Amino acid sequence: MQISEKRSSMLHGVLLITLFSCAAFYIGEMDFVTSLRLSPMIVGIVLGMLYANSLRNNLPETWVPGIQFCSKRILRLGIILYGFRLTFQDVTAVGLTAVMVDAIIVVGTLAIGMFVGRLLKMDKEITLLTSVGSAICGAAAVLGAESAIRTKAYKTAVAVSTVVIFGTLSMFLYPVLYRNGVFDLTPEQMGIFAGSTIHEVAHVVGAGNAMGESVSSIAIIVKMIRVMMLVPVLLVITWFVARAAAGKSDMGEKGKINIPWFAILFLVVIGFNSFDLLPESVVNFINTFDTFLLTMAMTALGAETSIEKFKKAGAKPFVLALMLQLWLIFGGFSLAKWMMG
């Protein structure tokens, strides 16, 4: 009987997050929101944070496990199904040089992020989450890293907010500078530059469309290749986490490596999708369903994030994100110009 009551209470928490996610989808369809290229995931975390800082105190404690279920288990399922947006054919479409640009940007962003974070004496987990979000694919990468290191929800929300702000800024800035000749690049170079340096997939789509189809098609493929790099990055992060845990162990035992199986399954799904076995309508449905799952995860993370926790994090995460943004613009431009010249 007690187990049944626990499940019922947990279901209440899941249903609450589901309702907020439905609202996020509805708001995400509004003209103003679509013009900013803000996905339902971003709307979801905002709604969750609004709830956390207003009505959360009235929430029965028995509902909390349901919210945590959404921010962890449903999150991992969402990351796995994200693989249906990608195929390995994407890699061959743009060539090895573009893949190398992506790899240099990802490794460089992570290295610079961790170095600057140490100089700023920032929280290590916020530093890592912000760096991963800037390096790979914005909010989805932050969620993947969060699931690998299992940190506190407010740290994830802080990292997501940084990539959303600077990703949105890039989406508007890149087309303006390209149209006015500041970014003196060919359409192919600009596509590789945009795809390898703009944070969110939605932001790349928005910026690409504003610069023309010749830029957009390359930018989206390059961005998707960057998303694939989430898997090796998560495996490396997991190894470092295990190593750090071993260092803290009093017995000097080896740290247990918790393999992020959701990341491996993400890669398996990409492989399956590469065979093009499912009708396009089915894949589109899975992608919509996956966006809803990720929106639920983001909403749940927002629901566990109060303004006090943002104040606790301070301005340093945004300073770090700004430093990474400057590297992405100047470093990415130089790489696209030099390697694709």
Question: Which pLDDT score, from 0 to 100, does residue 308 have?
Answer: 76
Distances (CA, A) of 268 to 88, 123, 140, 287: 11, 33, 18, 16
Question: Which pLDDT score, from 0 to 100, does residue 252 have?
Answer: 46
- Per-residue pLDDT averaged across 89-116, rounded? 90
Token pair belonging to 185: 């690049």
Question: Which pLDDT score, from 0 to 100, does residue 257 have?
Answer: 55
Residues in the chain: 341
3-state secondary structure of 302: helix
Question: Which pLDDT score, from 0 to 100, does residue 336 have?
Answer: 92
3-state secondary structure of 252: coil
Query: Who's near 317: CB < 8 A, 6+ residues apart?
Result: 122, 126, 127, 130, 158, 159, 162
Range from 29-33, 257-261, 273-277 that averages highest in pLDDT: 273-277
Residue found by looking up tokens 């989808």 in the block? 25
Q: How sure is the predictor about 265, in pLDDT bands with cuts at 50, 70 and 90?
A: confident
Range of lowest pLDDT (20-29, 87-96, 266-275, 321-330): 87-96
CA distance 161 to 318: 9
Token pair belonging to 78: 């969402």
Token pair belonging to 24: 């996020």
Q: Is the pLDDT of residue 254 over 60?
A: no
pLDDT in tens, 53-87: 887 667 777 788 898 888 778 888 988 898 898 88
Kindly report the average pLDDT of the chain as a whole number: 85
User: Are the beta carbons of 59 and 244 closer than 8 angstroms?
Assistant: no
- Per-residue pLDDT averaged across 120-131, rounded? 92
Q: Is the pLDDT of residue 117 over 90?
A: yes
Question: Which pLDDT score, from 0 to 100, does residue 5 have?
Answer: 60
Q: How sure is the predictor about 105, in pLDDT bands with cuts at 50, 70 and 90?
A: very high
More confident of the two residues 160 and 1: 160
CA distance 131 to 101: 17
Token pair belonging to 6: 């626990």
Q: For residue 61, give the DSSP letter.
A: G
pLDDT in tens, 269-300: 989 999 999 999 999 999 999 989 989 988 88
Evaluated on CA atoms 125, 128, 131, 134, the torsion sign reads negative
CA distance 89 to 270: 10
- Per-residue pLDDT averaged across 329-341, rounded? 89
Q: Is the pLDDT of residue 90 over 70?
A: yes
The ranges assigned to domains in the chain are: 83-297+307-339
CA distance 82 to 219: 18
Look up residue 263 and give its amino acid: A
% residues pLDDT > 90 (the chain)? 35
3-state secondary structure of 257: coil
Nearest to 156 by CA among 245, 264, 48: 48
CA distance 126 to 262: 22
Nearest to 315 by CA among 165, 168, 133: 165
More confident of the two residues 167 and 323: 323
Query: Who's near 89: CB < 8 A, 6+ residues apart?
Result: 274
300-324 CB burial, b ≥16 within 10 A, e <16: bbbbbbbeebbeebeebbbebbbbb
Nearest to 113 by CA among 168, 159, 174, 161: 159
User: Are the beta carbons of 64 and 321 closer than 8 angstroms?
Assistant: no
More confident of the two residues 186 and 267: 186
User: Are the beta carbons of 45 and 179 closer than 8 angstroms?
Assistant: no
- Per-residue pLDDT averaged across 236-241, rounded? 84
pLDDT in tens, 184-204: 999 999 999 999 999 888 788
Q: How sure is the predictor about 253, in pLDDT bands with cuts at 50, 70 and 90?
A: very low
